[in-house]
Structures are given as structure tokens and as C-alpha cells.
Amino acid sequence: ANPSGVHERPRLPPGISREDFNRAIAELKGSLGENYVELNDKPLVDGWYMEHPNTHDAFHIVGQDELVASAVVYPGSTPDVQTIVRWANKHEIPIYPISMGRNVGYGGAAPRVPGSVVIDLGRRMNKIVNIDAENASCLLQPGVSYYRLYEEVKKRKLPLWIDCPDLGGGSVLGNACDRGVGYTPYGDHFGMHCGMEIVLPTGELLRTGMGAMPGPNGADNPTWQSFQNAYGPTSDGIFSQSNFGIVVQMGFWMMPETSHQSYMITFPREDDFPKIVDIIRPLAQQRVLGNVPQLRHVIQELSVTGFSKEHWFPGGGTNERRIPRDVIRKHASKMPCGDCSWVFYGTQYGDPAAIKTQLDIIKKAFSAIPGSRMLLPEDVPPEHYLHARVKVCSGEPVLRELDWLNWVPNAAHLDFSPISPTRGRDAEIVHGIVAKLYKKWGFDLFPTLCVAGREMHYIANILYDRASLDEKRRAAGLMRELIAEAAKEGYGEYRTHLLFADQVAGTYNWGNNALMRFNETLKDALDPNGILAPGRNGIWPKRFRGKGWEI
Ligand code: ADP
């Protein structure tokens, strides 16, 4: 029991006594060095984004100590990672690799199996191995954040952009492994990677793509960061959103810098929603749209200011009462967006003359919706969110999205992110399910849609108070019902929090779970002792399967 008398979970790998664990830890310290192995025996601190824990999920949905590490190790090299993997096989201790652990909303640094040993790769393996300005590519270790890469590119005065997600503090490699997205034309992070180096669960080392062919005189292959597929089956994909290997180096393509113009378009009516989606589709398919634009509900014009809900809605500052539509409307009407319902954020790229032509085409297409208005950065005050979009859409990392967390006290967030066709009627169905269930479970709804030519990611953030057990229970209940209801219509999630991985994996069950059975065959072949990240993305090794771990 901790000082407050609450029972705490013993921070040990499953089925191992404290004595045996301490012996195994002493052995690992002997191989890696005393300072690079840390028992997780101190109180858990949630910290904040920049000082996030590597011991548990700072945005806990269940008890803070449910998804907890028994120890954290800090390898300094690829051979160190191989040593850790072999040690884990010997002692049958589950290990859980993270790059930097800033995977907020999806589990952070937490392992799925409590008591796993977290491998914090990023702390010491943080080198920019190479930036090839001619090839517009780089080769990175796990600890390189978007900010670090950005600063290095600026320092070397290279005419290259990096592509960041909404928050720039995370690992470039880690985000790509989890198939995160960004907002320049290079926003598909896994799609823009080129070549990997991986420590397999048995400790062997593998290079994918052209890296599998040695370069002359022992050098890396000269086209490792130039051609993705090389020869034979493309194996890279199985190392994303999986537990088949630990990625220790990864190559990325970088976008050459260019002129750009960000803008927002506002739409007056809630009902304009399906029509907006149908206008975006051909523009995106024809590549008139320069990046994957965002369509946001107007409530977000309030939430991205950094003011709390209490500020906008005095007396209603918690999740107890949802902010009413007329209160949102009242405030929005005094803001640059005006009294609108949806706001589209886009950016165009290329030479200035081409951008001007594109903007004319886009304006004309959206003019089919009465009352739509286009605003440019010079039309809004300097603190407006559009200026943060300008940065992130032109390769400059930002932290602006953290402002969200002021909405309710002790805020944490979870994301529900189903994929649907880019079609008005599908957009309405997804939005209908989400709106109905948010109302039922009592949360404010902040829809953001990342709309591409053929599919769109509907991102619904659930902001809850971490200090309230009831809110956590409701957030999890909402999430489970969202996943189930969306799946009934054929809408599946592109990514999810650790706790919902089994449920989401279970919705991809076509052909009597053919895909999961295939993944399990791979898992058992590659990781016979089941030590690497058991349960990640719903993939359980034989040793754990069907023993009550699936939730
Ligand atoms: P970020 O700091 O970019 O948000 P994380 O380090 O939290 O990214 O990584 C997100 C998830 O991706 C981790 O929880 C882990 O499951 C997986 N992951 C990250 N880095 C690696 C890696 N180098 N090898 C294998 N899996 C990884």
C-alpha cells in the first residue's frame, strides 16, 4: 500500500518473484553499466508534455499504476539493444521499446503488460546519423525529435523541410513506427520512410529495402534512402504498429522547401458538412489541394485559444455540462471566423503564380456553399491559430495544440480516429454516431477531419479530468461504444490507445480473423519466447494468448 492506503500493483514482470527479478536486473546492470538500468521504485509522476514520464501512461484512463514499467533501461548502441533482447529471452521478461514516449493520447511511454521492462531508446540513441542534402533524405536514431531535426537543418542552412505532427516534441522515428501523420505534402510519415535497421526479437540484426545489400567496402548501401522496395517482399510494413522488431535506425525523405500559402475557409451552417466533404474529394484527388487539409468544427476556434471552458462558459467549466451551441455561436461571432459552423484549414505549395491559380480554383469550388469565406493569415490577429497552421504546414514544429489541455481541469485526452470514405454521406454517418455517443456519455465534442482524396481520418478528441474516476470510466465507456458502433458501419480506426488495441484489432476480423491469425503466425515465428511488447496492437504471443490478457 502507498501512503494514502491505496493498494499498488507490484511493479514486477508477470510470474517473476522480486528475488529473481532483482537478480536479472543485476545481471543487466553488469552488461550495460549501473547507470543505464533503473528500477521503477519511485512514486509515479505524470509531469507534462516536455517532462513526460517513461514509467507509465501520463494520460491514464484506468489507475495510474495499471500500465506500469518494472524498470527502464537506456541502451547506448545497437549492440546494447541486442544485449537487452537476449537478456529478456533468457529470463522470459517482457520488454517494451519506446523511442521518446511522447505518444500522448495513445498510451505515452506505457507498456501494455504491466511490469514490462521499458527500453527507452531515445535517451542515448539520439544521433542524426546522416542528412543527405542532395538526395533530400536523412537517417535517424530513435531519440531525434522533430525539434532537433528542425534545428539541425537550420544550423546547416539546408533548403529542406521536415514534416511534423500537431506536436513537435516526439520522435520522428517513433511517430513513423506508429504511422502518425503530419501536414506538409510529406505528411504520411510511414509512407515517406526509406529503409530501416531492426533488432529482431531473437537479437539478430536486419536491414530492409536497399540496405539489405552491402555498399562497397563495408559502407551503407548508397541507395538505402533512395528506393523503398528493393527486391522481394516488402517487409517494412510489418514493423509498423506491431511488435515484431525494435527499430534502431530509419531513413526518411525530406521535402525541399518551397513557397506556401495557408488559409482558412469558414462555412455558416452545420448542414454544410457533407457538401464540404464532397467538394474536397475531387480537389484532393486532382492534387489541387497541397496537403491533407483539416476540417474542424467551430468549437475548436474556442479551444485552441488556450482559454478554459470556464472562461467561455462561466459555471460550466467541467465536463459536467456540455458547452451549448448558442454559447459557442455567441463567442465565435466576435472572432475572425464569425458565426460559422465549420472551418477548413488548408495550405498550397509551389511557385507563387501556381499558388494564386490554385487558390482561385479552391475559392470557386467552395463558393458553391452560400456564405463561405476565405481568410488569409494577414486577415487574422497574430495570436490566431491560423499562424500556428502556417508553421506546421511548412515544416516548423509547434506545441500550440497543447492549449487544448486547458479546456477542463487536470485534462488528459484520448483520440477516437476512424477512417471513412471521403464522401458526404459517410461523413454524416460517422459524425452522427460520434455526436450521439458524446452526448450520451457527457463530453464536449471537438471534431477534426483530415480529408484526403479517397479517405478521411475523423479525429475525435475525448478530453477528460484525470483526477476523476467517474470521468475516466465514462471516457473509456464512450471509447468502447464508439469503436463498436463505427465498426458496425465498416469504419475502422487507424490507430488507438493501448487499452483499446484488442477491441480495435478484433474489428478487423474478416474471414474468421484471417489477418490476426496471420499476425500471430508471424509473431510466434519471430518471437518464440513472446518477449517483445506482448499485446501491442492486439497481437499476443503464444505464451500470453487466451490467458485472460485480452480486454
Ligand atoms: P513519440 O515519442 O514519437 O510519440 P513513441 O516513442 O512514444 O513516439 O512511440 C510510439 C510507439 O511506437 C511506442 O509506444 C512503441 O510501441 C512504438 N515504437 C516507438 N519506437 C519504436 C522503435 N524504435 N521500435 C519499435 N517500436 C517502436
Burial 223-238 (b: 16+ CB within 10 A, else e): bbbbebebeeeebbeb
pLDDT higher than 90, residue 514: yes
Residue 494 catalytic?
Answer: yes
Strands (E), 423-510: 446-451, 455-465, 492-493
CA of 247 to the centre of ligand 1 (A): 9
pLDDT higher than 50, residue 21: yes
Q: Which residues contact 513 (CB under 8 A, 6 or more apart)?
A: none
Which member of 112, 281, 495, 543 is catalytic? 495
The preferred substitution site among 59, 141, 178 for testing ligand 1, maximizing ligand atoms within 8 Å of CB, is 178
Position in ligand 1 atom list of the atom nearest CA 175: 3
pLDDT higher than 70, residue 150: yes
Position in ligand 1 atom list of the atom nearest CA 104: 4
- Residue 52 Cβ < 6 Å to ligand 1: no
Task: Tell the residue nearest (CA) to atom 13 of ligand 1.
Answer: 98
Mean pLDDT of 440-448: 93
Averaged confidence pLDDT in the chain:
92
Residue 491 catalytic?
Answer: no
Residue 541 vs residues 244, 435, 497: alpha-carbon distances, Å: 10, 37, 19
Count how many Cα atoms sit within 13 Å of the Cα of residue 255 in the half-sphere of its side chain: 25
CA of 120 to the centre of ligand 1 (A): 9
Q: Classify 447 in phi/psi space as left (phi over 0), alpha (psi -120 to 50) or beta.
A: beta
pLDDT higher than 50, residue 3: no
Mean pLDDT of 67-73: 91
- Residue 101 Cβ < 6 Å to ligand 1: yes
Query: What grid cell was written down for 518?
Result: 496471420
- End-to-end, the C-alpha distance of the chain in Å comes to 26
The preferred substitution site among 55, 177, 181, 532 for testing ligand 1, maximizing ligand atoms within 8 Å of CB, is 177
Domains of the chain, each with CATH number or no CATH: 18-120 (3.30.43.10), 128-256 (3.30.465.10), 260-393+418-494 (3.40.462.10)
Q: How confident is the model at residue 102 (pLDDT cuts 50, 70, 90)?
A: confident
pLDDT in tens, 477-505: 999 999 999 999 999 999 999 999 999 99
Looking at residue 8, what is its pLDDT? 62
pLDDT in tens, 190-230: 999 999 999 999 999 999 999 999 999 999 999 999 999 99
Predicted TM-score (pTM) of this structure: 0.93
Q: How confident is the model at residue 119 (pLDDT cuts 50, 70, 90)?
A: very high
β-sheet bridge partners, residue 412: 464
Mean pLDDT of 44-56: 78
Looking at residue 356, what is its pLDDT? 96
CA of 99 to the centre of ligand 1 (A): 5
Helix H, strand E, coil C: the string for 225-289 is CCCCCCCCCCCHHHHCCCCCCEEEEEEEECEECCCEEEEEEEECCHHHHHHHHHHHHHHHHCCCC
**89, containing H or E segment:** helix 78-91
Residue 106 catalytic?
Answer: yes
Mean pLDDT of 361-371: 96
Looking at residue 317, what is its pLDDT? 72
Mean pLDDT of 396-411: 80
CA of 8 to the centre of ligand 1 (A): 27
Residue with cell 501536414: 183
Looking at residue 2, what is its pLDDT? 43
Q: Classify 310 in phi/psi space as left (phi over 0), alpha (psi -120 to 50) or beta.
A: alpha
